[in-house]
A = this chain, B = another copy of it.
Amino acid sequence: MKLETMQSSEKPLAERVADQITSLIADNKFQKGEKLPNEFQLAEAVNVGRGTIREAIKILASRNIVEIRRGLGTFVSEKTGLTDDPLGLNFVEDKSQLALDLIEVRAMLEPDIAALAAKRATKKDIEKIKQACKAVEEKIQRQEEFITEDIEFHEIIARSSKNQVVPNVIPVIHSAIKEQIKATNAKLTEKTIVTHRAIAEAIAQRDYEGAREAMKEHLRYNQEHIERVVKEKL
């Protein structure tokens, strides 16, 4: 206990400066994609040495809060603060169970998210959902890998829910699943086309119960598929 308190009060200077810059970004003093002032200016503004600023910037880059572009400067990252593995899923011990646990969490979240999207999506959102649905189908028809398009489809629905937390959670879970179950989607092509269409259609028609049920159905067969894959692996 004592140790922990000591830790936080004695946080290294560079980390405290990093936290300060983070607050500036969080308070919209700097926007996504915007270029930060240079080292000299930041050092002067925060009243620390340039070495400390340089260290703070490195910490911020490792947290995906800023992006260092060689020769161009430091910019506020577009995916502000989302690290590659924000939920520490790399550290989950039972990896073969992890894929099943991830789909279990998707089954909790995504049917409700689809229902919210049916209620709150703008006309523009609905267009994007239809396009994303089509993009998956085209990849499938060309017998190409479609994981990226598939994630995009679910992310657009997440954004259409207008819940600000959901679009930060969904990509994390999807990427983790992609990591766990690589190159197994090929077998799921037909069912993917049918159920994706049903989801997109229900959202377009503002049928929120229909959207919820279509997403449940979509995840149900995904779950069965992952269960088979995990069993084969064991």
Q: Is the CB of B101 within 8 A of A165?
A: yes
Task: Judge whether A156 is part of the interface by a CB distance below 8 angstroms.
Answer: no
| Cα–Cα distance between A99 and B97 once the two chains are bound (Å) | 32
Q: Given A7-B69, A81-B90, verify A98-B165 contact (CB < 8 Å).
A: yes
A179 to chain B, nearest CB (A): 11
Q: Is the CB of A163 within 8 A of B104?
A: yes
Q: Is the CB of B90 within 8 A of A82?
A: no
| Cα–Cα distance between A77 and B98 once the two chains are bound (Å) | 21
> Interface size (A, Cβ < 8 Å)?
56
Task: Judge whether A129 is part of the interface by a CB distance below 8 angstroms.
Answer: no
Chain B residue with Cβ nearest A75: B3
State the 10 A-B residue pairs at the shortest beta-carbon distance, nearest first.
Answer: A81-B88, A86-B86, A80-B91, A26-B90, A87-B168, A108-B112, A101-B163, A59-B62, A92-B164, A82-B88
Query: Could you pull out 7 A-B pairs where Cβ atoms are within 8 angstroms?
Result: A7-B67, A12-B58, A15-B62, A18-B62, A62-B62, A82-B86, A86-B86
